[in-house]
Structure 1
Amino acid sequence: MIRTFVLLVFLCIVGVFQVESHEVQSVMLGDSVTLDSGVSEVQLKDEIEWRFDNSRIVNAINLGNPKYYDDERFRDRLKLERNGSLTITDTRTTDTGVYKFSTIINNKELLKTFSVTVYAPVPIPVISSVISQCSSSSETSSSPTCVVQCSVMDVFRVNLSWYKGISVLSSISVSDLSISLSLPLEVDYQDNNTYSCVVSNPVSNQSKHVCITDLCRLCTDEVSFCESTEAVIRLAGTALVSLAAAAAFIVLVYDIRSRRTEMERQQTHSAGSDTIKQE
């Protein structure tokens, strides 16, 4: 306790005080963001410095002629405000990182850290039915079930959820990787409730609603169509076989009649020849 008191007295004498704070900022891709220094008034003699991932990006004395560094990354997109705040325009995903502000005001060193994440707007989710599992019986229910699947492509730091009303039924998240996400949901195919699939990140969200009876009825119709198609094929096959048999029968009858006619003709011709010889 005594050592702490002595240290504070020493810092007061030499005029070194440090005030540090931290903020988290989320911004949509392409928008502007202002990192607030938290200073209401900056003395003209104060020096201001901004760093991004420990690299200096802005430095100014008296705010008269700020110097901007790392032009390739932030070219023409940084602006130092009169109170020392930093505005970044036309944000990009590469602007995600840690920004540090420092200055000295009234013999106090002010340090402020910002964790900034730039998010792309989320896409509209796609909902489809898994046809192979339609009208199958689940282990827990004798009622036919349908599996509907919600998917999003190439997403980064998002949350994908199924809702029934305002109740969350299931959810999945992805953090640092840009990947495709899918979240299945198994329901009774006769369920007449409306379900919602929601994809969200800190700056945007999109939802898609689906009526289970509509989506799964399509699946059921497709199964019925397949069954009816198979029946038609079988019927057509039977008809073709019957037609072939009938054609064969007709050919056989024609052949028998032709042979009989030929035999009768030959017999008639032979009888006529015998009569001529006798005369």
Structure 2
Amino acid sequence: MFEMFIFFCLWSLPGVFGVDAVQSVSVTEGESVTLNVTDIQINDEIEWRFGQILIAEINKKNYKSTFYDDNADGRFRDRLKLDQTGSLIITNTRTTDSGLYIVYSSTRNTLLNTFNLTVFAPLPVPVLGIYCPKNSSSSSQQNCSLVCSVENVGHVTLSWYKGNSLLSSISVSDLSRSLSLHLECLDDSYSCVVNNPIRNQTQHLDLSQITCSDCRCCGSTEAVIRLVLAVLLGMLVGVILALLVSGCRPRNLLQKKNVRERAMDRDLTYADVLE
């Protein structure tokens, strides 16, 4: 066991046993992938391993292939092929196929290639909707948010864009988590994108197709109109107050004039009349 541990440690070092580097390969679940082997000789007997588990062999001299379907918990049953070059083909890939693949020449006792395969789950299209807290009302639109969400995805990034500009994003590696990003309801220039290293799915915001049950989506045009109306209303209130103030002043002057005239008619002083 210790010797096997040392052997696998040496495999990870560049240049050992003819291997320059581990090759990273990515594919979406359900697709086929080919792991191409190099430096094959005519008399080579080639072994393919998933980690330390033997899964396939081929004799280059007579092209006889053998598959060990019951190994690796039977996960590769009826899904492995070997072409004449000795390259391994995995059909109908699954996320459980992710891992380290090693091809080895038992004839020459030489490691030929090492592959790190990552199988990504298919990306769902993001779902857009409206979120309103329970304590919000139809009048408190600022408490309502536009939500972009995806479920049961792993090794992805979920992002909000305005045009081509990134606004916010969140990443997760756990396949069982749900992701959501909140954005204030504004206009149609926004889009939500979920992506992994090889794929992406985009959902563009269309306010006309979103049902706002607890609050209204406030578009940019409506926001401008409401702002203008608020300014006009403020100006109107100011004009009314100014008219009221200016109307009160002549009325007070007229009242004082009438009091003086009455005092003169009765030979009374202005102070007497006031008493």
Same fold (TM over 0.5): yes
Is the Cα contact below 8 Å between 1:78 and 1:88 reproduced in 2?
yes
1:130, CA displacement in angstroms? Answer: 1.9
1:176, CA displacement in angstroms? Answer: 3.6
1:104, CA displacement in angstroms? Answer: 7.2
1:109, CA displacement in angstroms? Answer: 2.9
Query: 2:89 matched to which residue of 1?
Result: 87
| Equivalent residues in 2 for 1:72-151, closer than 5 Å | 72-103=74-105, 109-132=110-133, 136=140, 144=142, 146-151=144-149
Q: Unpaired segments of 5 or more residues in structure 1?
A: 1-16, 138-143, 223-279
Q: What is the identity, as a one-letter code, of the residue corresponding to 2:48?
A: W
Q: Work out whether 1:201 is the aligned partner of 2:200.
A: no
- Classify 1:18/1:154 alpha carbon distance in 2 versus 1 (closer, same or farther; 3 Å): same
State the distance in 2 between where 1:51 and 1:125 align: 37
Q: What is the identity, as a one-letter code, of the residue corresponding to 1:60?
A: I
Query: 1:165 matched to which residue of 2?
Result: 163
1:110, CA displacement in angstroms? Answer: 4.0
Q: Unpaired segments of 5 or more residues in structure 2?
A: 1-15, 218-275
1:22, CA displacement in angstroms? Answer: 1.0
Q: What is the identity, as a one-letter code, of the residue corresponding to 1:38?
A: T
Q: Work out whether 1:183 is the aligned partner of 2:178.
A: no
Q: What is the identity, as a one-letter code, of the residue corresponding to 1:204?
A: R
Q: Work out whether 1:18 is the aligned partner of 2:13.
A: no
1:43, CA displacement in angstroms? Answer: 2.4
State the distance in 2 between where 1:152 and 1:19 align: 44
Q: CA RMSD in A?
A: 3.0
Residue-by-residue CA offset, 1:78-123 (whole Å, 9 max, x unaligned):
1112222111111122211111112279x79343211111122111
Query: 1:65 matched to which residue of 2?
Result: 64
Q: Which has the higher helix share?
A: 1
- Classify 1:60/1:128 alpha carbon distance in 2 versus 1 (closer, same or farther; 3 Å): same
State the distance in 2 between where 1:214 and 1:30 align: 32
State the distance in 1 between where 2:85 and 2:209 align: 58
Query: 2:270 matched to which residue of 1?
Result: none
Task: Name the SS of the counterpart of 2:17 in structure 1.
Answer: strand
- Classify 1:93/1:192 alpha carbon distance in 2 versus 1 (closer, same or farther; 3 Å): closer
1:44, CA displacement in angstroms? Answer: 2.4
Query: 1:3 matched to which residue of 2?
Result: none
1:67, CA displacement in angstroms? Answer: 1.7
Is the Cα contact below 8 Å between 2:38 and 2:112 reproduced in 1?
no
Q: What is the identity, as a one-letter code, of the residue corresponding to 2:132?
A: I
Q: Which range moved further: 118-127 or 65-74?
A: 65-74
1:36, CA displacement in angstroms? Answer: 1.0
1:150, CA displacement in angstroms? Answer: 0.8
Q: What is the identity, as a one-letter code, of the residue corresponding to 2:34?
A: T
Query: 2:243 matched to which residue of 1?
Result: none
Q: Work out whether 1:29 is the aligned partner of 2:11.
A: no
Is the Cα contact below 8 Å between 1:19 and 1:108 reproduced in 2?
no
State the distance in 2 between where 1:79 and 1:45 align: 20
State the distance in 2 between where 1:64 and 1:213 align: 62
State the distance in 2 between where 1:79 and 1:200 align: 30
Q: Which has the higher strand share?
A: 1
- Classify 1:29/1:110 alpha carbon distance in 2 versus 1 (closer, same or farther; 3 Å): same
Percent identity of the aligned residues? 46
Larger radius of gyration: 1
Q: What is the identity, as a one-letter code, of the residue corresponding to 1:51?
A: R
Q: Which runs of 4+ in 1 moved over 6 A?
A: none
Residue-by-residue CA offset, 1:52-83 (whole Å, 9 max, x unaligned):
02101112233521221134222221111222
- Classify 1:67/1:209 alpha carbon distance in 2 versus 1 (closer, same or farther; 3 Å): same
Q: What is the identity, as a one-letter code, of the residue corresponding to 1:25?
A: V
Task: Name the SS of the counterpart of 2:205 in structure 1.
Answer: strand
